[in-house]
A and B are shown apart, each in its own frame.
Chain A
Amino acid sequence: MKAEARSALAGYGLVAPAVLAAVAFLYIPMAVSAYWSFTDYNGVDAPQWTGLANYSDLAGSDRFHQAFTNTVVFTVVGMSVGPALGLVTALALNQKIRMVGFFRSVYFLPVTTSLVVTGTVWKMLLNENGVLNSALGLFGLPGHAWLADPGTSLLSVTAASVWQGFGFETVVFLAALQSIPKELYDAANVDGAGFWPRFRHVTLPGLRPSIVFVFVFGLIGSFQAFDQMFVMTRGGPVGSTTTLVYYLVERFQELDLGAASAVAYVLFVILAALSYAQLRASRERA
């Protein structure tokens, strides 16, 4: 018994720092933030309880609706194109081709680069006098203000984000592809299965855990997008690239900490619900 108690005590001692850190820097601030979301608080004066006023303001705010819609569009487009591009690239790199290592490094390189750097580079590519319009001009095609036009700004920022991030999906999918037993493909070949049946019945089931991982991780990342909008468009023009987190930061800059906390909790609930739904769906399929 004494040895067991000592062992248990040692166990608690080992996990204590991590638990204390989580409580101090995650759970207590989360609880405080939850409280602030029901108050009018500017960081200086004492918070004034306002009940659901911050949440009802968000529900009636066109700016918040726009930020929410922009975030959804950014997520849907990005999470459709990014993983698809990553999968196609992974399938290509999984073949026996020369310089595979080089190509893997090239595709993964943007992932290691700061979003601020890639955002700046893409801003230079896409501005009205940028490289893209110059290239179009060589073919006699008219240029376009990709980032200055509210109709194309969000998709332009999304394109930059997809480019920056799809190397991550590529590497994840590639690792998963290489872990699928070769015998399964051999068996499928014996059965006379072509490319599509092999992909559908062998590759895709083998990739399922990775796909779930990529989508959960990507979804969380997409809903928290901020850096690229800050660098490329400052949330404009006309709010066309303002995301939920961008909106949150604006509230924070305005010392409207109650509203900022309410936005944070809306975001938290959305992400928790989506992540739970995805994980549950993947378990049911498994």
Chain B
Amino acid sequence: MGRGTRLAGGGLVAVLLALAGCGGGGAGRAEGTITVWDYYGGSTPIKPVIAEFERANPKIKVKYEAYDYDTMREKYATAVGARTAPDLATLDMTWISTYAATGTLADLSKLSGGKINGEPVEGQYARGALAAMKYKGRYVTALYDFDAYALYYRRDIFKKNGIAVPGNWEQFKAAVAKLAATAPSPGKQRFQVLPDTFHFAQFLFQGGGEILNGSGKSAFAGPAGIGALTFYRDLLKSGGVYWGEDQGDTSGMPGIKDGRIAMFLNGPYMMGVLKDGAPEQKGKWAVVPAPVGVQQGSYLGGTGLSIPVTSKHKAAAWKFAQFLLRPEQQLLVAKQAGAAPATTAALNRPELTAPDPYFGGDAPFKVFLAAMTTARPFPYVKNWTDVDKAISDGVTAALLGKKAPDRALGDAAREVDGLREG
């Protein structure tokens, strides 16, 4: 049997946390050395502006540490327990529920006084984004980049084969089928079908459904959910390509490069991924609003700037966070990382609304800005990851034909409703 690095059961949890000391501390003065953890990687928009921030704020030094996405999650969980968390961290919005519910995030409502860079927080984000930043009525993170879905499609292939750009679900299904039917060889020109909660939620929200009801019980297995999953499964059958874990990362870049994927639903970060990963496809892609079911809708995620409750330099960390949320710094989110900045001031800047040659002269950011206005975050419950797992397993089972959509979601709902709240 394999004998690589093993995670020694009992020892792991204990050793990582046994050295936990005392932490805490108030906001204090905006000075000192702050540690910043960032998962953006090589295209980070944060690291390049540190020198400028330090020049403008000579009493604050920034110690920058980069981690990849997976490492960040592991390390943050460990650091919280060991009271060695940084002063500021980029955290995925899907992690916020757990970290907020366990009390690991500082109360930004108190720290900010309800303002970012001197302006009310409410005036700087779309309604959905403001909801995503709050836990139990208090701000626990400041959205730095956002994720909401739109439809990416190969403009050249659609034009060549006379395929109409879909505006609703019926047209969507027809476009997926025609795309596959006109492929030059089997398995090409497919719609990417990802078996996850994000994509299921796209159809669920559009179908008028919701994930959990007001009392935290499952609501996704009702008629709207079954209809959404059935439709998603039908898209796969009509001409989709199932994109499981074995295919590599969810961006689908290998399939985009070799022609298997010609259409997909995803967030604005894919604009940067496409430009970096498939420069030869410049001018061939277009982005339009996701085809509508009963109503517009998308999940809302992204990256939040969060201050762990254990930070001893909260005021200084918040000052740096505000610096990163200025429009000129927010523009770097698009320019450096190819993602979508979260503040409306940045999203409306001419640099982002100008024609983009990669997308045939369109301005895709406008599409995502519109998507954000109707997008909503996943529910903030402590065991969100367990809820997410139950749903994505149900979606996977239905897409693989292992269960009918109603049974798959019914089983997931039973699991979610049986979770211990605590």
A positions within 8 Å CB-CB of B? 25-26, 28-30, 32-33, 36, 40, 42-45, 57, 62-63, 75, 78-79, 82, 111, 114-116, 118, 123, 126-130, 145-150, 160-162, 164-165, 168, 217-218, 221-222, 224-228, 232-234, 236-239, 244-245, 248-250, 252-255, 257, 260-261, 263-265, 267-268, 271
Q: Would B385 and A253 count as touching, CB distance under 8 A?
A: yes
Give the CA-CA distance A44 to B106 in the complex, in Å.
12
Q: Would B246 and A261 count as touching, CB distance under 8 A?
A: no
Q: Inside 8 A of A255's CB, which chain B residues have their CB?
A: 77, 80-81, 98-99, 102, 104
Q: Would B14 and A30 count as touching, CB distance under 8 A?
A: yes
Other A-B pairs beyond A225-B6, A232-B245, A252-B77, 7, CB < 8 Å? A43-B20, A114-B4, A165-B2, A221-B1, A227-B2, A253-B385, A254-B98
Q: Would A233 and B9 count as touching, CB distance under 8 A?
A: no
Q: Inside 8 A of A227's CB, which chain B residues have their CB?
A: 2, 4-6
Give the CA-CA distance A129 to B80 in the complex, in Å.
41
Q: Would B7 and A233 count as touching, CB distance under 8 A?
A: no
**Also in contact, A237 and B1, with CB within 8 A (given A32-B14, A43-B17, A248-B13):** no
Q: Inside 8 A of B8's CB, which chain A residues have their CB?
A: 224
The 8 A CB mask of B185-216 against A (1 = contact, 0 = none) is 00000000001000000000000000000000
Q: What 4 pairs across the A-B complex have the smallest Cβ distances? A: A43-B81, A115-B4, A29-B14, A33-B14
Give the size category of B's interface with A: 35 or more
Q: Would B13 and A148 count as touching, CB distance under 8 A?
A: no
Give the CA-CA distance A30 to B15 in the complex, in Å.
8
Q: Would A267 and B10 count as touching, CB distance under 8 A?
A: yes
Say which residue of A25, A42, A150 sits within 8 Å of B102 (CB atoms).
A42
Give the CA-CA distance A90 to B367 in the complex, in Å.
63
Q: Would A221 and B17 count as touching, CB distance under 8 A?
A: no
Q: Would B2 and A233 count as touching, CB distance under 8 A?
A: no
Chain A interface main SS type: helix
Give the CA-CA distance A164 to B1 in the complex, in Å.
7
Asked whether B396 is an interface residue with its Cβ less than 8 Å from the other chain, the reply is yes
Closest-CB distance, B383 to chain A (whole angstroms):
7
Closest-CB distance, B104 to chain A (whole angstroms):
5
Q: Inside 8 A of A250's CB, which chain B residues have their CB?
A: 385
Closest-CB distance, A88 to chain B (whole angstroms):
16
Q: Would A145 and B246 count as touching, CB distance under 8 A?
A: yes
Residues of B1-38 whose CB lies within 8 A of A: 1-15, 17-18, 20
Q: Would B396 and A238 count as touching, CB distance under 8 A?
A: yes
Q: Would B1 and A236 count as touching, CB distance under 8 A?
A: no
Q: Would A33 and B13 count as touching, CB distance under 8 A?
A: yes
Asked whether B247 is an interface residue with its Cβ less than 8 Å from the other chain, the reply is yes
Q: Inside 8 A of A150's CB, which chain B residues have their CB?
A: 397, 400, 402
Give the CA-CA distance A143 to B396 in the complex, in Å.
20
Q: Inside 8 A of A28's CB, which chain B residues have their CB?
A: 18
Give the nearest-CB partner of B102 in chain A.
A42
Say which residue of A44, A123, A234, A264 sits within 8 Å of B13 (CB atoms).
A264
Q: Inside 8 A of B402's CB, which chain A residues have their CB?
A: 150, 238
Asked whether B234 is an interface residue with its Cβ less than 8 Å from the other chain, the reply is no
Q: Would A128 and B247 count as touching, CB distance under 8 A?
A: yes
Closest-CB distance, A260 to chain B (whole angstroms):
5
**Also in contact, A44 and B81, with CB within 8 A (given A147-B246, A253-B385, A255-B102):** yes
Asked whether B47 is an interface residue with its Cβ less than 8 Å from the other chain, the reply is no
Give the nearest-CB partner of A26 in chain B.
B11
Asked whether B357 is an interface residue with its Cβ less than 8 Å from the other chain, the reply is no
Q: Inside 8 A of B400's CB, which chain A residues have their CB?
A: 148-150, 237-238
Most chain B CB atoms below 10 A, which of A126, A233, A234, A237: A237
Closest-CB distance, A66 to chain B (whole angstroms):
10
**Also in contact, A126 and B246, with CB within 8 A (given A82-B1, A255-B81, A267-B9):** yes
**Also in contact, A261 and B10, with CB within 8 A (given A115-B4, A238-B397):** yes
Q: Would B13 and A260 count as touching, CB distance under 8 A?
A: yes
Give the nearest-CB partner of A78 in chain B.
B1
- A/B interface sample: 12 pairs, CB < 8 A: A36-B13, A43-B82, A44-B81, A116-B4, A118-B2, A128-B247, A162-B1, A221-B6, A225-B2, A237-B396, A249-B7, A264-B10
Q: Would B73 and A237 count as touching, CB distance under 8 A?
A: no
Say which residue of A79, A161, A237, A244 sits within 8 Å of B244 (CB atoms).
A237
Q: Inside 8 A of A160's CB, which chain B residues have their CB?
A: 2
**Also in contact, A32 and B396, with CB within 8 A (given A261-B10, A264-B10):** no
Give the nearest-CB partner of B244 in chain A.
A148
Asked whether B103 is an interface residue with its Cβ less than 8 Å from the other chain, the reply is yes
Give the nearest-CB partner of B411 in chain A.
A62
Q: Inside 8 A of A217's CB, which chain B residues have their CB?
A: 3
Say which residue of A62, A165, A248, A253 sits within 8 Å of B77 (CB atoms).
A253
Give the nearest-CB partner of A130 in chain B.
B246
Closest-CB distance, B326 to chain A (whole angstroms):
31
Closest-CB distance, A93 to chain B (whole angstroms):
20
The 8 A CB mask of B386-418 against A (1 = contact, 0 = none) is 100100010011001010000000000001000
Say which residue of A111, A161, A254, A263 sits within 8 Å of B383 (CB atoms).
A254
Q: Would A224 and B7 count as touching, CB distance under 8 A?
A: yes
Q: Would B10 and A265 count as touching, CB distance under 8 A?
A: yes
Q: Would B74 and A253 count as touching, CB distance under 8 A?
A: yes
Give the CA-CA distance A221 to B14 in the complex, in Å.
19
Closest-CB distance, B63 to chain A (whole angstroms):
23
Closest-CB distance, A269 to chain B (whole angstroms):
10
Asked whether B159 is an interface residue with its Cβ less than 8 Å from the other chain, the reply is no
